[in-house]
Structure 1
Amino acid sequence: MSAANLPLAVGLVAVAAGAVAYVALNPLLSGERRAEQRRRALGQSTAAVTERTNAANRREHVAKSLKELEAKKDKTKVTLELKIARAGLDWSRKKYYVVSTLVALGLGFGVLLVSGRPLVALLAVFVGGLGVPAWILKHLQKRRIAAFIDELPNAIDVVVRGLKSGIPLGDCLRMISREAKEPLRSEFRVANEAQALGLPMSEAIQRMYERVPVTEVNFFAVVIGIQAKAGGNLSEALGNLSRVLRERKKMAGKIAAMSMEAKVSAAIIAALPFIVAFTTYLSSPDYISLLWTTAIGKIALAASALWMGLGIAMMRKMINFDV
């Protein structure tokens, strides 16, 4: 390079270096980088505030929904028609009264033929008219609820798989009302019919709790109601609910197995006085007949029955657990 072009080359290099330095240092000197950092921090803080606000609103919706469900549950009046529906029967009030009357008359007539005492027969009429039908309804309700709880997790899994496949919730519930086992099929059919008449799905599921008053159905109604009001991933929530219900079922089975020994012991202890009294009556009827032929014996029988009833109730309370 000639000496004449040397100053020109140096000048060009100096200009290029100055341009590079200006590009590199200008954001720092002018505060643009700090401004960009502040804008990013502001954007992140705004997103965090928005997320916290949404979470707070969702918690508020959840709490409100739970309070509404609890209020509706407390206001539910258990009528005779509701008891019959919980038992899975399609009887009317008139048919129930007719059946109760027939049971009362049949039991009273049978006791009258066996004992020959009108007073005892009259007591049997009251027991047959008021106690036996109510016990039958209670027994049928427990059996129906047990069958419902056994099949509910499977039905929830069907809903979860349907939602993940893109099927609407209403179609999933209609699928259950067609293909599930009883009593799920009839209960979900009632919910679908209520929805077809204009009732929201969350309200229809909440009414299911009136006919099947168990915690599992209340959980299902809470999930559907909260999703309808606060939004969220319904398939994930129902999947978690299905796992919880299955774990509750496992826990109930473990508790039943662990308390079976105590239950058998309680049954043996409760049956032992009757077995001893029966064997004593077979060997010495005159000796044990003093218990119901004398005043002191009757008092002893009544006191023994009272204490034995208290003991059975206490043992039942100790070996029964709510899961």
Structure 2
Amino acid sequence: MNMLHLLLVSGGLFAALAMVWLAFAGPSPQKESARRLGQVRYRHSESAVDRVEAQMRKAVAARRPKMHQIAGSSSRVEALALRLHRTGKDWTLQQYLMVSGGLFVVVAGLVFLKSGAPILALVIGLFVGAGVPHVVVGHLVKKRTTQFIVKFPDAIELLVRGLRSGLPVSETLSIVATEVPGPVGEEFKLITERIKIGKTMEDALQDTANRLDMAEFSFFCITLAIQRETGGNLAETLANLSDVLRKRAQMKLKIRAMSSESKASAYIVGSLPFIVFGLIYWVNPLYLGKFFIDERLMVTGFGGMVWMSMGAFIMAKMVSFEI
């Protein structure tokens, strides 16, 4: 009963801290006023450049996903299935759930047999069963996204050469699907297949943009939409977009190099307590054995992990930059 009370108090403190952070993490009134004034200026400007920028801002806002779901999905189950699809693997939702459940049963059983503490085994089993598959899928999604971003400017340049040679846009999309390897060719192949079965090019591109949820591909769709509304040389516009995407990738690499030292420090500081705990337990199991049987030490360890998680979250935000 005492342990239950301590867990409830710890959870209540953590929830209170989270609510305080959410309450004070909103946008400042000054920035919100400046943003609204900028929207009014762009909307009523007589300059063509300002009007095009206003259209782009509106299109980006329309494509922005809701906070509780992934763009292109209408429920959490559909969002998970979409996330599995973004890995490029033929994984199904049932396989993902079976792997998560299997990890939970195995890890929880091993911890219970080792420590004899059912609550600790349940917590660690849930953490591993839900966390490890999520991290693996996130790594694969990030890897495929990086491969797409690296090859996407080359695909746009291929589109530019096709347009300058007199080919229509739909034909150049088919060329990109066959000539560019990797995720770019796979996604453009899906676009051409949707166009062949009767979808418009705008709808096919928008479906892919919703599934990928990449700023680079959204820029590509916005560029095509604005060009259709305002006119102009599409080949030159796409050439400028390719140059912008390459400079964007270079800026990301520069920021990654500049923040690598801080990230390494954060990894070392975050992993050092667990490494020391594991080494001491390996050398002298009796010295730390009470952490698995004493309820007070278990609650203390849980509180320490909560505070460490908050510190790791703050450090991750400090070294994370959006381009």
TM-score by length of 2: 0.70
Structure 1: distance between partners of 2:201 and 2:183: 19
TM superposition shift of 1:285: 6.1
Residue equivalent to 1:34: none
Structure 2: distance between partners of 1:125 and 1:280: 23
Structure 1: distance between partners of 2:308 and 2:206: 42
Contact 1:164/1:235 (CA < 8 Å) preserved in 2? yes
1:304 is aligned to 2:304: yes
Aligned residue pair count: 269
Which structure 1 residue ranges, 5 or more long, are not aligned? 1-54
Residue equivalent to 1:201: 201
RCO comparison, higher one (Cα < 8 Å, 6+): 2
Compared CA separation, residues 228 and 106, structure 1 to 2 (3 A):
farther
Compared CA separation, residues 132 and 215, structure 1 to 2 (3 A):
same
Contact 2:86/2:212 (CA < 8 Å) preserved in 1? yes
Structure 1: distance between partners of 2:127 and 2:281: 28
TM superposition shift of 1:202: 2.2
Contact 1:203/1:225 (CA < 8 Å) preserved in 2? no
* Secondary structure class of the residue paired with 1:211: helix
Aligned residue type for 1:140: L
TM superposition shift of 1:298: 4.5
* Secondary structure class of the residue paired with 2:259: helix
Residue equivalent to 1:190: 190
Residue equivalent to 1:230: 230
Contact 2:156/2:239 (CA < 8 Å) preserved in 1? yes
Residue equivalent to 1:47: none
Structure 2: distance between partners of 1:107 and 1:140: 23
TM superposition shift of 1:128: 5.5
Residue equivalent to 1:22: none
Percent identical pairs in the alignment equals 35
Compared CA separation, residues 226 and 311, structure 1 to 2 (3 A):
same
Deviations 1:112-162 (A, max 9, x none): 555555555544554465443333322221111111111111111111111
TM superposition shift of 1:287: 5.6
TM superposition shift of 1:64: 5.0
Compared CA separation, residues 199 and 144, structure 1 to 2 (3 A):
same
Contact 1:66/1:222 (CA < 8 Å) preserved in 2? no
Moved more, 84-93 or 160-169: 84-93
Contact 2:117/2:292 (CA < 8 Å) preserved in 1? no
Structure 2: distance between partners of 1:289 and 1:111: 13
Structure 1: distance between partners of 2:94 and 2:283: 51
Structure-to-structure mapping, 1:1-323, within 5 angstroms: 63-64=54-55, 67=58, 70-74=61-65, 76-77=72-73, 79=78, 80-112=80-112, 114-115=114-115, 119-123=119-123, 126-127=126-127, 129-278=129-278, 297-298=297-298, 300-323=300-323
Contact 2:117/2:293 (CA < 8 Å) preserved in 1? no
Structure 1: distance between partners of 2:316 and 2:189: 37
Structure 2: distance between partners of 1:68 and 1:236: 21
Compared CA separation, residues 161 and 67, structure 1 to 2 (3 A):
same
TM superposition shift of 1:219: 0.3
Aligned residue type for 1:190: L
Compared CA separation, residues 91 and 293, structure 1 to 2 (3 A):
closer
Structure 1: distance between partners of 2:130 and 2:84: 15
Compared CA separation, residues 120 and 208, structure 1 to 2 (3 A):
same
Contact 1:149/1:216 (CA < 8 Å) preserved in 2? yes
